[in-house]
Structure 1
Amino acid sequence: MSRGPGSPATTGRSVLFALPAVLPVLAVLGVSLTAAVLQSLGLMPFIGPPDLSFEAWTGNTGELFRATGLSLYIAATATVFSVCIGFLIAAYVLAMPRMGRIVAALSAATIPIPHVIGAGAIGLLLSDSGFLERLLGMPDAFPVLVGGPWWIAAITEYAWKESAFVALVVLGSIARSVGELCDAAATLGATATQRILRVVLPLAMPSLAVSAVIVFVYTLGSYEAVWLLGPTSPEPLPVRAVRLFGSVDLAARPQAMATALVSVAVGAAAILAGILVLRRVRGFR
């Protein structure tokens, strides 16, 4: 019987070791999602008798679709910028060991900063009377970045924060193996750009795919930055869910649960798509 790393015996043993940590998470997640579904259908009301109703799902379909589209736009745009900037940071750190250490330290220092503090800092930087507007001296021509229709300030905050996370993941996954391969490519006459595109980028693709899924799902459900830096209308999914859940009208709770469940469903679909992409990138079944 095979006892290698990919053998059934080894896989079964790994699953058994993971069960004590996974089962509590699955239990909490299952109970929470079940309660949310029941509340969205009117079967677990805060007031009154249970009454099966799809009003929370069908009564405001247009608003729900707009919130979903807006959340997808913010999450996708922030993810693209985060992955691109994070990869460039990682490539610079690998290409310039001395200055790269300083860049890596500065990038890693942003990771523990809470998003609410980062959103406040971006707001002070990009607002109409903020630091950047005063630095450039554009009191009348400065664009509306905070609270604007394109959600530029919120996307900037996510890209700034999450690019450091992407760079950290990429560096942790390829830092040991990429040096010798880049040296070999340089010996064969490859330029710096060719080494980045044909050596570093292929090696970093699995870690980029994983970090992109994590950033997308996190940004999709994040509340602080879009609430502080975005316009009041339209609302992305997390802002709409929190507003409806905190409403004095308890009849709005089913709509809040429906909004939250849509966010969970989109995030789950993104995770499944990321797993499929990662399998194709890494070439395993």
Structure 2
Amino acid sequence: MKDGLRIPLMLTPALGLVVLLFGGGLLVGFGQSLGYFPAIGLRDITLRYYVSVFTDKNFLQSLWLTFRIAAETTVLSSVLAVALTLVLRQKFTGSRFVTFLFQVPLPVPHLVAASGIVLLVTQSGLIARVLAVLGLINVPADFPALVFDRAGVTIVLTFLWKEVPFIGLVVLAILQSVGPQYEELARTLGANARQRFFSVLLPLIMPGILSTSIIIFAFTFGNYEIPLLLGVRFPATLPVVAYRQYQDPDLALRPEAMAIILVLAVVAVLLLVAYRRLARYAVR
């Protein structure tokens, strides 16, 4: 057997399973989004479900909310991660323990993180009850309503708690592998701290920031657990809307749910294409 064929043949079973499950499900969902759903008597191919989705004001409002939450999470995660890794790369007393604490959120599932927020910071949560016992507030209901807010602040904060360490771990690995020699060389040439960061460090870590930020945007754009637990009933993010319509006993809503899911899938593909272009530009 030729060496050039060995690796593709070894990967064939795993790739075949992925293509079968993912591709098959995508194909079935695409068919239902076009109105082909024999289980309820729909067999005519049509685009009316896509038209219905894109002309629905509630859909556009949910699309904007989903995009805003994903964009805010991505930008804030990137900025905070870079700032924290610039501190963590320094050696100081307890730096290893602080780095460990920084990485603690990584293995915690998003569903567990959202559940913890509900138990902690709602008006009936642990913090409100403790403050009431200490006499800092009269009753737990006096605690500020931080969860189930229309702006999605708690949703963004929960995403930040999870995603900042993800970007930070990648950026920290890059900084540790590069070492301080480039900065020291720039310092000997008279570059100040600002110039060293924007002209030396940022170009080195930009590929890592771009790759992780695209992943985070795509994930938060399609995530439904945290918005479902921490968001308001309306407006809801697109994944939550699709989930509710898919779970609705009325199967006539299934094609619109599939249309929304396909829109999310197309956005994810476009993000991957954008990442490839940005990555090539950043490497240059």
TM beyond 0.5: yes
Q: CA-to-partner distance for each residue in 1:145-186, whole Å, 9 max, x for gaps?
A: 311121000000001100000011112233111332234345
Q: Output aligned runs, 1:210-225, within 5 Å.
A: 210-225=211-226
Q: CA-to-partner distance for each residue in 1:16-59, whole Å, 9 max, x for gaps?
A: 47853545433433222211110111213332252223332223
Cα distance change, pair 199–128 in 1 and its aligned pair in 2 (3 A): farther
SS in 1 for 2:248: coil
SS in 1 for 2:39: coil
Note if contact 2:89-2:175 (Cα within 8 Å) is conserved in structure 1: no
* 1:30 maps to 2:23: yes
Q: Output aligned runs, 1:163-178, within 5 Å.
A: 163-178=164-179
Q: Distance in 1 between matches of 2:264 and 2:120?
A: 30
Residue number in structure 2 paired with 1:88: 83
SS in 2 for 1:226: helix
User: 105, 108, 113: which is aligned to 1:110?
Assistant: 105
Q: More displaced, 176-185 or 217-226?
A: 176-185
Note if contact 1:145-1:151 (Cα within 8 Å) is conserved in structure 2: no
Residue number in structure 2 paired with 1:274: 275
Note if contact 1:244-1:256 (Cα within 8 Å) is conserved in structure 2: yes
Q: Distance in 2 between matches of 1:203 and 1:18?
A: 35
Q: More displaced, 137-146 or 250-259?
A: 137-146
Residue number in structure 1 paired with 2:59: 64
Q: Output aligned runs, 1:1-285, within 5 Å.
A: 16=8, 19-20=11-12, 21-60=14-53, 61-62=55-56, 63-96=58-91, 98-130=93-125, 137=136, 143-188=144-189, 190=191, 192=193, 194-283=195-284
SS in 2 for 1:147: coil
Cα distance change, pair 145–57 in 1 and its aligned pair in 2 (3 A): same
Cα distance change, pair 196–122 in 1 and its aligned pair in 2 (3 A): farther
Q: More displaced, 128-137 or 261-270?
A: 128-137
Gap regions ≥5 residues in structure 1? 1-9
Q: TM-score, normalised by structure 1?
A: 0.84
Note if contact 1:123-1:153 (Cα within 8 Å) is conserved in structure 2: no
Q: Residue 128 of structure 1: CA displacement?
A: 3.4
Q: Residue 191 of structure 1: CA displacement?
A: 5.2
Letter matched to residue 115 of structure 1:
H
User: How big is the alpha-carbon RMSD for the aligned residues of Structure 1 and Structure 2?
Assistant: 2.8
Q: Distance in 1 between matches of 2:244 and 2:146?
A: 23
Cα distance change, pair 228–49 in 1 and its aligned pair in 2 (3 A): closer
Note if contact 1:37-1:258 (Cα within 8 Å) is conserved in structure 2: yes
**Residue correspondences, number:** 273
Percent of matched pairs sharing the same residue: 33
Q: TM-score, normalised by structure 2?
A: 0.84
